[in-house]
Amino acid sequence: MALVRFRWLLCALEQVSDDFLAFLEQWRAHRVSLHPRLSGPDLRHYYRTEQFRDDFLLFVRGYELAKTEHVAALLDYQDALRLSSHRNETEPPGCDAVPIGARLRWTDIPVREKHTRVVQLTYDIQLLIDALKRRAVPVWDRGPHFYITRKASAGVDRLHGVSNWVGCLLSACDGQRTIRDMLDCVLPQVLDLEESVREYALVKLLQGIHAQGLIDIYRPRTTHHARRSGIARSRREAASYSGKRILPES
């Protein structure tokens, strides 16, 4: 499990280290000093826990090799991954799930699917991994890059690159914002699209990530009268945007 979780970090350490075996021996001595009674099944379980992750990353950060560009970048990735794991969105109370393909309303509330985490980095991690595979100097594509993690198997998440638009949308789907509030937050971050169609495009993109199972969308329960008036308001808002229907049907 340790090898799977830190495969590329270990590869980077091995490639920049003069004596990788000495590094592993130092880690073992450090682990024994922290948990001297661990052995057998308990030790194997330890390497599956978040405690191991925290212990190992703290150990690596105190190592001289942590200052190299390869290792520092992968430590940043682990920090971003950990930060994303602490964002636990929950179903908003007093709401019902909106079926995929249903027409959306401004007051609907998008929430990231519980196994979907958003990771934002300042470099393209795929270029770094490709360089590690070739034992070559990486090409650094600096700038915002978004990724999502999806569960591949028990205890193992797979990382997928997504566009900046999708990354911004998913980051804002925290279960605290309505679609209207979420778009107000995301629109200033998406400037590489003509302003007249920007909002319409983002709503369509929201419908797309809903269909892919990356988010769930919830609708507050209302009385019949409030529900009808809410639809009317959404229609009037939609008509005010250059005659476009902002919340289109799929």
On whether residue 43 sits in a domain, the answer given is yes
Whether pLDDT at 2 is above 60? no
Hey, what are 94's tokens? 């007093």
d(CA 83, CA 104) in angstroms, rounded, equals 30
Is 163 domain-assigned? no
Please determine, for residue 239, whether its predicted confidence score (pLDDT) is greater than 70.
Answer: no
Is there a domain that residue 176 lies in? Answer: no
Q: Is residue 12 part of a domain?
A: yes
User: What is the per-residue DSSP string for 11-31?
Assistant: HHHHHH-S-HHHHHHHHHHHH
Who contacts 37 (Cβ-Cβ below 8 Å, separation ≥6)? none
Percent of the chain's residues with pLDDT above 90: 60
What mean pLDDT is predicted for residues 115-142?
Answer: 92
Q: Would 126 be classed as within a structural domain?
A: no
Does 26 fall in a domain?
yes
In which domain, by residue range, is 28 found? 1-86
Which stretches within the chain are classed as H helix? 2-5, 7-16, 20-34, 40-46, 50-61, 69-85, 125-134, 164-172, 179-186, 195-211, 224-239
Give 160's contacts (C-beta < 8 A, 6+ positions apart).
147, 148, 149, 150
Number of domains in the chain: 1
What's the whole-model pTM score? Answer: 0.76
> Does residue 51 form part of some domain?
yes
pLDDT, tens only, 48-101: 898 999 999 999 999 888 999 999 999 999 998 888 776 666 778 899 999 999
- Examine residue 153 and state whether it is found in any structural domain, yes or no: no
